[in-house]
């Protein structure tokens, strides 16, 4: 993690936004940077704040894709759900 200035020393950062397509950010490790992945892609939802998807590419045949559901902010959380096995 960290601020963008710090991340830019280790990763080539870019983003795409084409018309009504979702905004997508890319991070590719720079040569010599130690990383366990080849690329990370992060896509925003139409509200431009909430995450829509994340893709971690570790190799030509190894990728992890995460799809985010609806984000609910500032809602009550039952304490029992915060304990192991809850």
The pLDDT of residue 22: 84
Residue 60 CA: distances (Å) to CA of 42, 54, 56, 68, 83: 18, 17, 11, 24, 38
Which strand (E) or helix (H) includes residue 6? helix 4-10
pLDDT (tens place) for every residue of the chain, 86 residues total? 567 777 888 889 999 888 777 899 999 999 888 888 999 999 998 888 889 999 999 988 999 999 999 888 899 988 888 877 64
Q: Are 39 and 28 in contact (CB under 8 A)?
A: yes
Residue 64 CA: distances (Å) to CA of 11, 43, 45, 55, 85: 19, 14, 19, 6, 25
What is the reported pTM?
Answer: 0.72
The pLDDT of residue 65: 96
The pLDDT of residue 2: 60
| DSSP reduced 3-state for 14 | strand
């Amino acid at each position: 993690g960290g601020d963008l200035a710090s991340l830019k020393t280790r990763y080539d950062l870019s983003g795409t936004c084409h018309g009504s397509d979702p905004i997508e950010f890319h991070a590719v490790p720079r040569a010599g940077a130690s990383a366990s992945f080849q690329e990370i892609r992060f896509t925003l939802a139409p509200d431009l704040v909430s995450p829509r998807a994340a893709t971690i590419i570790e190799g030509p045949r190894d990728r992890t894709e995460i799809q985010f559901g609806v984000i609910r902010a500032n809602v009550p959380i039952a304490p029992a759900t915060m304990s192991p096995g809850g």
